[in-house]
């Protein structure tokens, strides 16, 4: 549970901030909202007030009926300056959506409204989620402002690509989806001390490998890395020291997570092998190619050179997870992922648990609606030697939390989790 201060600036995407508040409060966080005057043209204060259970502030000179307290706190006896008291109480300050104008003000230290004044006074981690027209995002002024903020340690999220607010326009500038916003805030929260993952070294693999056919083409898969990154964020938020071996993942980076970028199964294997002995927990969420072209051309294949048919021989890649499991040491907890389709998904998962000598397999029915590749939600069954836990369709953040709960339970139950079951 944390106290999250949300600053909402002007933009169509302000409506997504309502969903973020709903998710954050459902996750147990206490939320207070500051809006800029322009933001109120898009979404009214009454909606935020109803969802947070606390007054919304806009004007610097307006009295805060809650006197700077969050919904889980009793208001102080005195009447403090609301923006100073709010940021003092906050564990993290998220600005979402952050307009180009607000980003410029934050970069230059302007304090001309309650949101920017509060940001200037904030000592807690600041997360900025931009949302704007793609030309504004690409403008060198915005690029420089974002660089300035990042250089100061502010987490500026990458906006998404797709349809923008203006009719018919598409490009980069979309506000990240609310579950991603929540994960980004949770990732910067000060680590809970004494938590069950405090100090644990967690190695995660994420994304999907690409196996070259020639200098420009590859055999790949649809994994986006969302599940692996959600696991990494959640483990870091629980106090773990996290490294992600990321195969072709184009998602925003969490400053509290070390990321090692790889492309192929062979690179992923080398990166995981180099780090495995030092880790306490391995979460193997990457979709590793099972086959790769036996001979990749070093140049771009020309149609003339190939003719009417291109026949390719694919060879098996090494099973990275099985290789790591074969050299596991006592005290390590190994979790595999199984992308399956159909009714026998859980049976296949259980078979993998035994064959690869794992502590848990997270079975993912990739054919189920809302589950699997490149969607923000997932539905899984966590299979262990002792039974199965079904996690109904939920955000990948929530699924990651369930997987880590299972890891914590496994480690608590087995004094020597490395013992092969």
Q: Catalytic residues, which ones?
A: 221
Among 122, 197, 202, 288, binds ligand CTP (CB under 6 A): 288
Burial zone of 72 (CB within 10 Å; 0-12 exposed, 13-18 middle, 19+ buried): middle
Helices marked H in 314-344: 320-326
Among 5, 175, 320, 399, binds ligand CTP (CB under 6 A): 320
* Total residues at interface with ligand CTP (CB under 6 A): 16
Taking the complex as a whole, how short is the minimal distance between the CB of residue 366 and ligand CTP, in angstroms?
9
Closest CA to 107 of 171, 57, 150: 150
Taking the complex as a whole, how short is the minimal distance between the CB of residue 272 and ligand CTP, in angstroms?
8
Taking the complex as a whole, how short is the minimal distance between the CB of residue 290 and ligand CTP, in angstroms?
5
Binding flag, residue 210, ligand CTP (CB under 6 A): no
DSSP 295: S
Fill in the per-residue mask, 366 to 395: x = in contact with ligand CTP (CB under 6 A), - = not in contact: ------------------------------
Among 20, 284, 371, 382, binds ligand CTP (CB under 6 A): 284
**Is the CB of residue 242 less than 8 Å from the CB of residue 228?**
no
Among 31, 57, 103, 286, binds ligand CTP (CB under 6 A): 286
Q: Please, which residues bridge with residue 201 across strands?
A: 241
| Candidates 4-12, 130-138, 243-251, 315-323; binding stretch for ligand CTP (CB under 6 A) | 315-323
Q: Which is closer to ligand CTP, CB of 90 or CB of 284?
A: 284
Among 60, 214, 263, 319, binds ligand CTP (CB under 6 A): 319
| Candidates 100-108, 168-176, 317-325, 398-406; binding stretch for ligand CTP (CB under 6 A) | 317-325
Binding flag, residue 247, ligand CTP (CB under 6 A): no
β-pairing, 257-262 vs 170-174, is: unpaired
Residue 404, CA distances (Å) to 241, 283, 292 in order:
14, 9, 32
Q: How far apart are CA 329 and CA 281, in angstroms?
A: 11
Fill in the per-residue mask, 155 to 194: x = in contact with ligand CTP (CB under 6 A), - = not in contact: ----------------------------------------
Q: How would DSSP label each residue in 351-401?
A: HHHHHTT-SEEEEEETTSTT-STTSSEEEEEEEETTEEEEEEEEEHHHHHH
Q: How far apart are CA 325 and CA 47, in angstroms?
A: 51
Contacts (CB under 6 A) with ligand CTP, residues 322-341: 336-339
Q: Which is closer to ligand CTP, CB of 352 or CB of 411?
A: 352
SS3 145: helix
Q: Which is closer to ligand CTP, CB of 300 or CB of 344?
A: 344
Taking the complex as a whole, how short is the minimal distance between the CB of residue 321 and ligand CTP, in angstroms?
3
| Candidates 2-10, 164-172, 225-233, 318-326; binding stretch for ligand CTP (CB under 6 A) | 318-326
Q: How far apart are CA 264 and CA 379, in angstroms?
A: 27
Taking the complex as a whole, how short is the minimal distance between the CB of residue 336 and ligand CTP, in angstroms?
4
β-pairing, 126-130 vs 155-156, is: parallel
Q: How would DSSP label each residue in 23-89?
A: HHHHTT-EEEEEE-TTHHHHS-HHHHHHHHTS--B--TTS--TTTT--TTSPPPSS---HHHHHHHH
Binding flag, residue 262, ligand CTP (CB under 6 A): no
∠ Cα 126 32 38 (to 5°): 80
Q: Which is closer to ligand CTP, CB of 79 or CB of 277?
A: 277
Binding flag, residue 317, ligand CTP (CB under 6 A): yes
Q: How far apart are CA 269 and CA 374, in angstroms?
A: 23
Binding flag, residue 352, ligand CTP (CB under 6 A): yes
- In the complex, which residues of this chain contact ligand CTP (CB under 6 A)? 205, 265, 284, 286, 288, 290, 317, 319-321, 336-339, 348, 352
């Amino acid at each position: 549970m944390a106290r999250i201060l949300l600053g909402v600036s002007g933009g169509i995407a302000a409506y997504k901030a309502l969903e973020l508040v709903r998710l954050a409060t459902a996750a147990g966080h206490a939320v207070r909202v500051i809006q800029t005057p322009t933001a109120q043209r898009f979404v009214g204060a009454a909606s935020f007030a109803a969802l947070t259970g606390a007054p919304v502030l806009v004007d610097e000179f307006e009295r805060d009926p809650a006197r700077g307290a969050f919904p889980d706190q009793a208001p102080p006896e005195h009447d403090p300056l609301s923006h100073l008291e709010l940021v003092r109480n906050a564990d993290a300050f998220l600005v979402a959506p952050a307009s180009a104008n607000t980003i410029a003000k934050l970069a230059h230290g302007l304090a001309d409204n309650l949101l920017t004044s509060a940001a200037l006074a904030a000592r807690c981690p600041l997360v900025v989620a931009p949302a704007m027209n793609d030309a504004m995002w690409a403008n060198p002024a915005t690029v420089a402002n974002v660089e300035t903020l990042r250089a100061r340690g502010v987490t500026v999220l990458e906006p998404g690509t797709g349809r923008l607010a203006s009719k018919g326009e598409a490009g980069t500038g979309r506000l990240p989806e609310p579950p991603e916003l929540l994960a980004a805030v949770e990732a910067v929260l000060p680590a809970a001390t004494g938590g069950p993952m405090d100090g644990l070294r967690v190695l995660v693999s994420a994304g999907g490998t690409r196996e070259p056919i020639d200098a420009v083409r590859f055999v790949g898969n649809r994994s986006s890395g969302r599940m692996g990154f959600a696991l990494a964020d959640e483990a870091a938020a629980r106090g773990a020291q996290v490294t992600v071996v990321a195969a072709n993942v184009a998602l925003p980076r969490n400053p509290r997570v070390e990321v090692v970028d790889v492309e192929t199964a062979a690179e992923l294997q080398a990166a995981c092998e180099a780090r495995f002995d030092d880790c306490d927990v391995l979460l193997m969420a990457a979709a590793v190619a099972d086959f790769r072209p036996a001979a990749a051309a070093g140049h771009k294949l020309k149609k003339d050179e190939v003719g009417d048919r291109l026949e390719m021989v694919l060879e098996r890649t090494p099973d990275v997870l099985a290789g790591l499991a074969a050299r596991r040491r006592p005290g390590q907890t190994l979790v595999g992922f199984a992308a399956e389709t159909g009714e026998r998904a859980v049976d296949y998962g259980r078979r993998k648990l035994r064959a690869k000598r794992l502590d848990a397999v997270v079975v993912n029915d990739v054919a189920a609606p809302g589950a699997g590749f490149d969607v923000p939600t997932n539905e899984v069954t966590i299979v262990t030697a002792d039974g199965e836990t079904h996690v109904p369709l939920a955000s990948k953040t929530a699924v990651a939390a369930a997987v880590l709960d299972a890891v914590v339970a496994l480690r608590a139950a087995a004094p020597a989790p490395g013992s092969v079951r």
